[in-house]
Amino acid sequence: MTAINIPDIYGRWYLINFDLVKLIGVSDNDKNGDLMVAFTDQSKEWITVGRVRTDAVRVLGHLCEELGASGWIPQLPESGDSDHE
């Protein structure tokens, strides 16, 4: 079992069992630093990990490093490159 405590900006902690996680996402709004965790039972947990979207992307990168998911570390495309194929 892999479980990690994720703090929010208000001082609360969320213990997330990653054996039950289906998807982790970041808010689409640039002025919102929310991280969305979707579980295998279709429930979702929104955690405010920063003030802006880049803070949430940074936290997602740290989670990927801790979980050993190096292929999933968020990276921006090089200047002029497409972000998809």
Domain assignments of the chain as residue spans, ordered by start = 3-69
* Alpha helices for 6-78 (secondary structure H): 53-67
User: Splitting the chain (85 residues) into consecutive groups of 10 residues, what average pLDDT does each group show?
Assistant: 89 93 88 93 95 91 81 52 40
Q: How far apart are CA 16 and CA 27, in angstroms?
A: 18
Q: What is the pLDDT of residue 78?
A: 54
Helix or strand (DSSP H, E) at 25: strand 21-26
List, in order, residues 6 or more apart from 52 with CB less than 8 Å away.
30, 31, 32, 33
SS3 55: helix
Q: What is the pLDDT of residue 80?
A: 46
Q: What is the pLDDT of residue 70?
A: 59
Q: What is the pLDDT of residue 28?
A: 85
Q: What is the pLDDT of residue 55?
A: 92
In degrees, rounded to 5, the angle at the alpha carbon of residue 1 between the alpha carbons of residues 39 and 55 is: 55
| 63: its two tokens | 């989670």
Q: What is the pLDDT of residue 12?
A: 94
